Structure 1
Amino acid sequence: MDLRFLALASLTIHFVLFFVNTYNAAGQVGVCYGRYGNNLPSPAETVELFKQKNIRRVRLYSPDHDVLTALRGSGIEVMLGLPNPDLQRVASSQLEANTWVQTNVMSYVNDTKFRYISVGNEVKISDSYSHILVPAMENIDHALLVAGLGGRIKVSTAVDMGVLGESYPPSKGSFKREVKVLMEPIIRFLVNKKSPLHLNLYTYFSYAGDKDRIRLDYALFTASPGTVSDPPRSYQNLFDAMLDAVHSALERSGGESLDVVVSETGWPTEGGVETNIENARVYNNKLINHVKNGTPKRPGKEIETYIFAMYDENVKPTPPDVEKFWGLFHPNKQSKYDVHFG
């Protein structure tokens, strides 16, 4: 047989396998792995649970070395957080940024699939360190470049819906005037680096804070088509409406080319209004199926999404109590309810 044909066939097979693996990965919904609990399974047990449940992506809020060690060789893709208390140190010194990358990324990169470094989480314009967020992002990005990982691991930051001044209807989405001094440099960095914006998006909090005007079925993906009209589009669920409001705000600020990764979303099972097992089950399973289809503003474009959270976190310091009850699994590793990652 012609050896050139064999070589071409081999190349084609490898390309197809790469394409299939990439396509399958694109459709995966990940989980957020918080560690504010004194009764949680070990990282090694948790990584085994990821594998059993076909969870192929995970968000970590800090470079916990026990977790990173457990993830070695797992094939699970990682969004690694650089915590807010580290921003000052990393922003003030390129050497500190290089050391952070060397210690927390390079030490593991040979057998760990880092997808993003998310620098800071929900930094507010009122925070004393807000002005150093982008310098910290730039220093981490440069450290990755120096380490030979430039472009391979994307740098971003996670914001919440509080950055919007207007969100209804979605086509009117815009950033708060006072927040633009923070958001516009972030957007310029992300556009330049072709990195997505990370967004913590909770329909639960929007519903709980305005339940007289927001219907529960609209927040849970169970409303009828056309519940909200925003010509030429209409919306059947609050998740799409919130995400498209952010898309609109980005377009108004030079970020029309940016993708948005939903870095947190979910529904709690205790501690607040309409917090129960059934609503959490419905929300998360509907979410997993829904994000494959995009939004009315970006139809057909899959939405990379991470569910908050793997476990309840019984020592989480942030009030109210509802913050403690977002887990998909009990500390004994049993599912709270059936959820299918597909």
Structure 2
Amino acid sequence: MASSFSSVAALQLLLGLLTINLHITDAQIGVCYGMLGNNLPSAREVISLYQSNNIRRMRIYDPNQAALDSLRNSGIELILGVPNDDLQSLATNPDSARQWVQTNVLNFWPSVRIKYIAVGNEVNPVGGSSWFARFVLPAIQNIYQAIRARGLHDQIKVSTAIDMTLIGNSYPPSQSSFRGDVRDYLDPIIGYLVYANAPLLANVYPYFAYAGNPRDISLPYALFTSPNVLVWDGQYGYQNLFDAMLDSVHAAIDNTRIGSVEVVVSESGWPSDGAFAATYDNARVYLDNLVRRAGRGSPRRPWKATEIYLFAMFDENQKNPELEKHFGLFYPSKQKKYPFGFGGGRNYGEVAIDQLNATLPLVSDM
């Protein structure tokens, strides 16, 4: 009986610790504000739409001055993007980086709560964006030094956003690694992130993984609707594809043995039209479950709630191919496309229990 009581007490303590950790960590969801549409509302209307829907984090892909001005005193935290086309000048000229920071950061800080600067998006050293790759790290470093010179390097973190194509082996997640042909590009960036205590930004899309391999990946696993753990990877259990993909990034970083780096999910979404499995219902279920999931960590990082930015705020009619036009959470009319909210609405105690079920071995397994 005493042994049983101490086991219960230990479990309650562990639940309490997890609950406290998750409660302390702000689990608010973010939404990416793309602007590639000719029928979108004004920046000021967009910021009001974020506020009225309790969306407290935003990502923009370039330093749009109207958006930055409208964000003043809004309380919305921001990922501020550096377009790939600007990387060369920022990498090769420290004065350009200092001027960029003055114009787009210091002129708005602190009334605009810039949290991260994403220097480049989905640059791949092998493929269509390979020309930009040589400029990513020096541009990051020059912007970081400009931020550091003003004493803001602990408040504004400078990073870059990658996509999942840089992962080579991703199954099982614990054996994940970055592709051999991108290590010369990524390893120095990871080394910088360790030094600067900055997270890696990762765009994580179960939709594309499922659409590319529906034979081996089930739709419930991709949509968070699987009733049970489908993949066991040692002590880690995976009930959904998002967690498996996120942990493959965690493991790939860990397996470089360079150092510990957190991961922020800088994009994730599901299109409602335009391609295989791109339906309104699939998008609604995925996005609703992703918002609910935002309050907890992944199996490999259960102690830290995952910071997630949904893609995207609006359907953008100037994007291609067709499915890229249908990722919006809102129509350009500002009407909500889906019925759910964005407050990360799950009970933290319930999250802790869920996480224990997903990641800790049962007594019967020992």
Fold match (TM-score > 0.5): yes
Task: Find 1:218's aligned residue among 221, 234, 238.
Answer: 221
Identify the residue that residue 153 of structure 2 maps to in structure 1.
150
1:117-146 CA-to-partner distances (Å, cap 9, x unmatched) read 010000111311211210000000001112
Kept in 1: contact 2:271–2:278 (CA 8 A):
yes
Which 4+ runs in 1 deviate beyond 2 A?
Answer: 22-25
Identify the residue that residue 90 of structure 2 maps to in structure 1.
90
C-alpha separation in 1, matches of 2:263 and 2:49: 28
Quote how far apart the aligned CAs of 1:179 are: 0.5
* Secondary structure, counterpart of 1:166 in structure 2: coil
| 1:156-235 correspondence to structure 2 within 5 Å | 156-235=159-238
Identify the residue that residue 15 of structure 1 maps to in structure 2.
none
Quote how far apart the aligned CAs of 1:212 are: 1.0
CA spacing shift, 1:41–1:292, aligned 2, 3 Å: same
1:273 aligns with 2:282: no
Identify the residue that residue 47 of structure 1 maps to in structure 2.
47
* Secondary structure, counterpart of 2:110 in structure 1: helix
* Secondary structure, counterpart of 2:31 in structure 1: strand
Kept in 2: contact 1:56–1:77 (CA 8 A):
yes
* Secondary structure, counterpart of 1:116 in structure 2: strand
CA spacing shift, 1:282–1:255, aligned 2, 3 Å: farther
Question: What is the Cα-based RMSD across aligned positions, in Å?
Answer: 1.5
C-alpha separation in 2, matches of 1:158 and 1:203: 17
The letter of the residue matching 1:292 is G
| 1:301-340 correspondence to structure 2 within 5 Å | 301-316=304-319, 318=320, 320-340=321-341
The letter of the residue matching 1:275 is A
Quote how far apart the aligned CAs of 1:25 are: 7.0
Instruction: Give the number of aligned pairs.
Output: 320
C-alpha separation in 2, matches of 1:334 and 1:291: 23
Quote how far apart the aligned CAs of 1:232 are: 2.0
C-alpha separation in 2, matches of 1:250 and 1:31: 25
| TM superposition score normalised by structure 1 | 0.91
C-alpha separation in 1, matches of 2:308 and 2:258: 20
CA spacing shift, 1:137–1:228, aligned 2, 3 Å: same
C-alpha separation in 2, matches of 1:195 and 1:50: 26
Quote how far apart the aligned CAs of 1:256 are: 4.7
C-alpha separation in 2, matches of 1:138 and 1:23: 34
1:283-306 CA-to-partner distances (Å, cap 9, x unmatched) read 111111112221111113200000
Kept in 2: contact 1:61–1:82 (CA 8 A):
yes
Kept in 1: contact 2:25–2:305 (CA 8 A):
no
1:23-58 CA-to-partner distances (Å, cap 9, x unmatched) read 677211100000000000110001000000000000
* Secondary structure, counterpart of 1:337 in structure 2: coil
Unaligned 5+ runs, structure 2: 1-19, 344-366
CA spacing shift, 1:25–1:329, aligned 2, 3 Å: farther
The letter of the residue matching 2:97 is A
Identify the residue that residue 17 of structure 1 maps to in structure 2.
none
1:247-301 CA-to-partner distances (Å, cap 9, x unmatched) read 1110111355211000000111010112122111111111111122211111132
Q: Greater relative contact order (Cα 8 A, min sep 6): structure 1 or 2?
A: 2
